[in-house]
Structure 1
Amino acid sequence: KGGAAPGSIGSLVKAIQPAVDKARTQPGDLVDNVVRANVAMVVQQLKSSEPLLAELVKKGKLTVDGAVYDLDDGKVAILP
């Protein structure tokens, strides 16, 4: 606990840390909140990705939507 994560896990943890930080301030299930916050952040990153994606989004030629796949029931929830 508290040490360096093995392999690529450290880079994954670093990538989702902003979502974890945001989710900790929200009521409800922490894991669910982290997943949803991470999806929202990735959607924003994709929408603003230069040079191609951001331009297509601005022109209305591309939309980027986030979704969560539920492993328990196999359903996909499109996030607002």
Structure 2
Amino acid sequence: MIPSFLRTLRSMKGQSRVLLLYLPLGEIKKELAQGQLVHVLPKWSLPILGVYAVWPDIGPQKALTRRLIEHFVEHRSELLL
């Protein structure tokens, strides 16, 4: 969704527009650095929400589920920005 949204914004180049959005910083770093987007409320943020995983306790999927959880834990700082 975010890449298609950014393509739409790029297509509006030169047009006046004001939008307030809360987007993951990791997805828009380039646009911020190039001045295409402006961080207007840098001290404001949404409340931090917990991340929960619920799955059935059935044999072979346990290993895959554990790998998914380990991935989330390893990349949590990227996921929460």
Q: TM-score range by the shorter chain?
A: under 0.3
The structure that is helix-richer by fraction is 1
TM-score, with normalisation over the residues of structure 1? 0.25
Flag the structure with larger Rg. Answer: 2
TM score, norm. by length of structure 2: 0.25
